[in-house]
Amino acid sequence: MKKLFGNIGGLKASHIRRLEKFYRRRLPPQFLISFELARDISKLSHEIRRQIGLLINRQGKIAYVIVGDYQRIVIPDTSDYRVAPGRLRGLRCVHTHLVDEPLTTDDLTDLALLRLDIMAAITMTETGLFHKAYAGYILPNSAYEKPFQMIDPLNPGELNIGCLDLIQSLETELAHATSFHEADIETERALLVSVTTEDRQTALSSLEELKDLAISSGIEIVGKMLQSRRKVNSKFLMGPGKLQELIISALQKCATLIICDQDLNPSQMRSITDQIDLKVIDRTQLILDIFAQRAQTKEGKLQVELAQLKYLLPRLITKNTAMSRLTGGIGGRGPGETKLEINRRRVRDRIKRLENDLLLVRKQRSQQKSKRNKKGLPVISIIGYTNAGKSTLLNTLTKSRVHTENRLFATLDPSSRRLKFPKDIEVIVTDTVGFIKNLPKDLMVAFRATLEELEGADLLLHIIDISNPRFKDQIKSVEKILLELSLEGIPLIRVLNKIDLVSPETTEKLSRSFDATAISAREESTLLPLIEKMKESIHHPL
């Protein structure tokens, strides 16, 4: 006999036997439930004063018998029935309600969270006779206004609702939506989520940046969701209603990935992945992933892997299904060789090894550096928010061809070029990795290489993309990071870039209010005032 799930404490042996017998019942597949079975669970439920739930598969077999309390049942782990993204679970739930009420919010949450085929509640008369059945299902298409469809209450004679046909048509509609995307199976389809206590505008603009980050990582965006809360939910970040909405939306849009704009602590990460059959990552992981894709040098690669593993370590727990999703990384790009069986100890060992390797690489680099610096040329470092135009400026200034791209974090590895001012003054100009708000701590450490070079700079050029609607926040983020790196003592010129994209009046106004020099890094002819300022600063250091 199969085991019963839920709350069987305090039940008589005879009740338990009757409950167990439900496993032997077979249902005509087109019926939501058979009349006889509905009658029998109503009767027993009435006797024991507890809800009884059945999870029924598409062959009409009863896969789970669940005993609840007076108000609810708790659906057990049904991961045996785990299904592909964009599919339903292959199980419908029929359970009793001891009070005469239709599907509750809890019922609908379960329907959505577990992606059940159908959720149904059976109500009974005061004497325990089967009265009515209420049923609902998830609508497979986000074009509908509501996420659920309710079936009109069914009388005992109306239980043949063409159940299997209904489920199959839902699946067909879902499969149809999925098949659009199957051609491009490699591309992740992400739903972006932000749960914020800040004002809506700030949250929206941060979400926009998250979108740019995701696109830079080669991810397709299928939707965005924002929830403002006075306090974040410590367990799920968002409220239960929003989580439900998220899961349905992910299902309807065939999302393969959820990206959260706020950092998730290890237990939130676990709680959410336990609820959703999808990978869930946060902003930090996304940035780490971009860095992992882009790192070119040996040192860069070691640093990124180290940062990824340090991020992963507290999130590893034994025997959790979410783990494989975590360690899979985006698009299966896990950190280094750790994609396979992974455990904390191996991760710790690997971290130690990486740290040692890094020490070695750094030693070599500092030797090279001391050779390079022999001449003692002044160093001008170009810094700024990612995608501001730093590499473009380096190229135009020094007529070189460093890679530039309209993507966040196009540059990861710093490059230096010589620049000759008139009158034979030579300087070294260095391009650096871009800054971003809330730069992950481990990455900050990881990019010490670049940042160390900044310490030695004689002048910083802070490049600001004034065509970006978020440029004011970006200035603040950059200046905050400079403070954190204790670089505020180095002379700095603020440079407003991409003036070709805004009106001359705007440029004029902003140059004054930010005490900055305006340029278009692509246009050599616009650089003269900046070059003058640079010379002046190098000649007459403060």
Residues lying near ligand GTP in the complex (CB under 6 A):
384, 386-392, 404-406, 408-411, 434, 497-498, 500-501, 520-522
CB of 413 to Mg ion, least distance (A): 10
Q: If contact means CB under 5 to 8 A according to the sort of partner, which of Mg ion, ligand GTP, none does residue 276 touch?
A: none
Q: Closer to Mg ion at the Cβ: 131 or 522? A: 522
Q: Closer to Mg ion at the Cβ: 283 or 390? A: 390
Q: Measure Cα distances from 368 to 95, 295, 361 in Å.
A: 72, 20, 11
The stretch near Mg ion (CB under 5 A) out of 111-119, 138-146, 382-390, 492-500 is 382-390
For 229, the token pair is: 């809360």
Number of residues counted as binding Mg ion (CB under 5 A): 4
Spell out the residues 6+ positions from residue 107 whose beta carbon is closer than 8 angstroms to its own. 95, 119, 121, 136
Q: Please state, in angstroms and rounded to a whole number, the distance separating the CA atoms of residues 425 and 531.
A: 12
Q: Closer to ligand GTP at the Cβ: 213 or 259? A: 213
Q: Dihedral, CA atoms, 161, 162, 163, 169, nearest 10 degrees?
A: -130
- Sign of the Cα torsion 322, 326, 331, 336 reads negative
Q: Which member of 96, 308, 391, 395 binds Mg ion (CB under 5 A)?
A: 391
Q: Closer to ligand GTP at the Cβ: 249 or 391? A: 391
Closest CA to 277 of 300, 304, 254: 254
The stretch near Mg ion (CB under 5 A) out of 1-9, 268-276, 339-347, 388-396 is 388-396
Q: Tell whether residue 430 is a contact of Mg ion (CB under 5 A).
A: no
Closest CA to 22 of 12, 6, 37: 37
CB of 364 to ligand GTP, least distance (A): 25
CB of 431 to Mg ion, least distance (A): 6
Q: Closer to Mg ion at the Cβ: 285 or 432? A: 432
Spell out the residues 6+ positions from residue 286 whose beta carbon is closer than 8 angstroms to its own. 210, 213, 214, 217, 259, 330
DSSP structural state of residue 116: -
Q: What are phi and psi of 267, to 5 degrees?
A: -80, -30
CB of 63 to Mg ion, least distance (A): 55
For 499, the token pair is: 């003036």
Q: Tell whether residue 410 is a contact of Mg ion (CB under 5 A).
A: yes
User: Cβ(451)–Cβ(441) under 8 Å?
Assistant: no
Q: Tell whether residue 387 is a contact of Mg ion (CB under 5 A).
A: no
Q: If contact means CB under 5 to 8 A according to the sort of partner, which of Mg ion, ligand GTP, none does residue 140 touch?
A: none
Q: If contact means CB under 5 to 8 A according to the sort of partner, which of Mg ion, ligand GTP, none does residue 498 touch?
A: ligand GTP
Q: Tell whether residue 411 is a contact of Mg ion (CB under 5 A).
A: yes
Q: Measure Cα distances from 275 to 12, 158, 248 in Å.
A: 33, 34, 12
Q: Closer to Mg ion at the Cβ: 285 or 392? A: 392
Q: Closer to ligand GTP at the Cβ: 355 or 523? A: 523
CB of 510 to ligand GTP, least distance (A): 14
Q: Closer to ligand GTP at the Cβ: 316 or 521? A: 521
Q: Please state, in angstroms and rounded to a whole number, the distance separating the CA atoms of residues 333 and 331.
A: 6
Q: Please state, in angstroms and rounded to a whole number, the distance separating the CA atoms of residues 97 and 362.
A: 67
CB of 105 to ligand GTP, least distance (A): 45
Given the rule CB under 5 A, which residues bind Mg ion?
Answer: 390-391, 410-411
